[in-house]
Structure 1
Amino acid sequence: MNLLHARIPAGTADTAPMVTARADFLASGAYRALADELARVCAEADGLVIDAGAGTGYYLAHVLSAAPAATGLALDVSAAALRRAARAHPRLGAAVWNLWEPWPVGDEVATVLLNVFAPRNGPEFHRVLRPGGLLTVASPTPDHLRELGDLVLTVDDRKEERLDGTLGEYFTRTARTAVRSKVELTPERIRQAVEMGPAGHHLDRDGRRERLAAVSEPQEVTVSFSVSTYRRL
């Protein structure tokens, strides 16, 4: 369902090619360890699980498979992504929405909020989550895909500190887990890894598109994420 009628600035929503790259990359299992960790953390969920910035619904579908008493709502600004999310799981609904606007849901309706590589709207997180509800945030660490150099955008060394600062008014952090491994990526998977992320909006800068096309050998890369859990105050 597309509830968003305002024009979205260029470079905000993932494009159809970016979404296709993400769907194909995630289907390879390269980030399965992160999906498994999110499912573990949220396995006791019941009621409504909202994924803020759900993309294709890959992570929310894993959580719902681990939590049979839960239903899911995927919110994302990309209509192309949510067309896939709507088919990702039988207990998942999807709505196109700008996460920086007040969300089209009532107060204190969610038992769990997911936020995976997506904008964090602390006031709305707090409004829609029930008292004592669980917020689970996944973000890349500075080591993530570091072997790919400037083909990908760098991660701020103070990202976790800024995350806690952004959410501290509304939530208390209860845990932080590292999810880290090495995976071998084919040239096609390397291209997808770059194209599906923020760098996908900037392929024509600094010769990035040409350098991606020139990749011809598999490469072992680091995948590294931080999973932080918070309880609503």
Structure 2
Amino acid sequence: MLPDAANLLLCPSCRGRFLSSDGGPGNPGAALRCPVGHSFDAAKQGYFNLLVGRGTVFEADSASMVAARFEFLEGGHYRPLAEAVAASVAPALAGDKPVVLDAGTGTGHYLRCTLDTILARHSAVAAIALDISKFALRRAARMNPEAANLVCDVWQPLPVADAAVDAVTVVFAPRNPAEFARVLRPAGLLVVVTPRPGHLAEIAARTGMLGIEPDKDERLAESMGGHFHLNLARDLDLQLSLSPTDVENLAYMGPAGHHLNRASLTGRLAGLAAVTDVWARFRINVFERLQDPGSVTTWPRSVPTH
């Protein structure tokens, strides 16, 4: 069956509204079709691949990176972060049937928590999940079968209608402010999660993980200028007690996984203690869409949470 959000999607080739099909005689599978005739069939895992045209400059996560992320998140280590993201979008989800878009959904764990939180208050919710990695979408489609799980490039025009969603979440993923502003309703919220200086510092050097740029907040604010106003920046610190396998998965599941060799990483972590205490330091940024495109984005004082 097609997700409820299918009627909010646009064809990536012609930008026309999809005329969805749940199958029938001679057409057993779900498909997205537009009036011009472009058609996208659902993969057997339940997602749709909407990549068209020229290739992306963004490197998709590999199957092994996605597997590491799935195993780590299944351990519940970042569950408080997922709950904080869900709480941050809640003020925008007051309608009868709210719509949430998760850009860079990965394995779908953060969206799952958000959907469960919404469904505790509403009888229905529609969701759209985007990622460049088909390996991630295979996991996400199983995690969130009610969502429209789409392989697409966030740097390109999103396959979503104007003013169609109430909230956009972006957890450690690329951001396209202009497109997020376009698809958000006027009172919608954009929630962006970024790491803070000191994030995973206890294991960063040993694992070869990438460092956190000192001007990351300023660059985020600058990139959002002209589209969003930052309403709140909340800090969340989590003390994690990790096994050697957890540490390896944590290192390999992120951006460093694109250049780390898994076998070398395993060797580098040989002799690691049975339990390693690590601090994860996040910033949860809640943006409101600017009604006046000429407004200036400001950066309020953050609210620490431990």
TM-score where L is the length of structure 1:
0.93
Which stretch of structure 1 is more off in the superposition, 35-44 or 223-232?
35-44
Q: Deviations over 1:83-133 (max 9, x none)?
A: 111121343220000110111111111110001101111111111111121
Q: RMSD of the alignment, in Å?
A: 1.9
Tell me the residue number matched to 1:143. 198
Q: Is the 8 A contact 1:53 1:118 kept in 2?
A: yes
Where do 1:81-100 residues align within 5 Å?
81-100=136-155
What SS class does the counterpart of residue 49 from structure 2 fall into? coil
Where do 1:206-225 residues align within 5 Å?
208=265, 210-213=267-270, 215-225=272-282
Tell me the residue number matched to 2:171. 116
Q: 2:204, 2:253 → 1: CA distance?
A: 16
Q: 1:9, 1:99 → 2: CA distance?
A: 9
What SS class does the counterpart of residue 102 from structure 1 fall into? coil
Where do 1:169-208 residues align within 5 Å?
169-204=226-261, 208=265
Identity %: 41
Q: Radius of gyration: which is bigger?
A: 2
| Counterpart pick for 1:25 among 49, 72, 82 | 72
Q: How many residues align?
A: 232
Instruction: Extract unaligned runs of 5+ from structure 1.
Output: none
Tell me the residue number matched to 2:286. 229
Q: Is the 8 A contact 1:61 1:92 kept in 2?
A: no
Matched, 1:168 2:225: yes
| Counterpart pick for 2:125 among 60, 70, 95 | 70
Instruction: Extract unaligned runs of 5+ from structure 2.
Output: 1-47, 291-306
Matched, 1:54 2:83: no
Q: 1:59, 1:76 → 2: CA distance?
A: 13
Q: 1:124, 1:84 → 2: CA distance?
A: 25
Q: 2:178, 2:60 → 1: CA distance?
A: 22
Q: Is the 8 A contact 1:64 1:91 kept in 2?
A: no
Q: Is the 8 A contact 2:228 2:289 kept in 1?
A: yes
**Match of 1:15, as an amino acid?**
S
Q: Deviations over 1:163-209 (max 9, x none)?
A: 1111121011111111102111000000000110011111149x645
Which stretch of structure 1 is more off in the superposition, 103-112 or 41-50?
41-50
User: Residue 42 of structure 1: CA displacement?
Assistant: 1.9
What SS class does the counterpart of residue 161 from structure 2 fall into? coil
Higher RCO (CA 8 Å, separation ≥ 6 residues)? 1
Matched, 1:40 2:97: no
Q: 1:164 to 1:149 in 2, by over 3 A?
A: same
User: Residue 214 of structure 1: CA displacement?
Assistant: 5.1
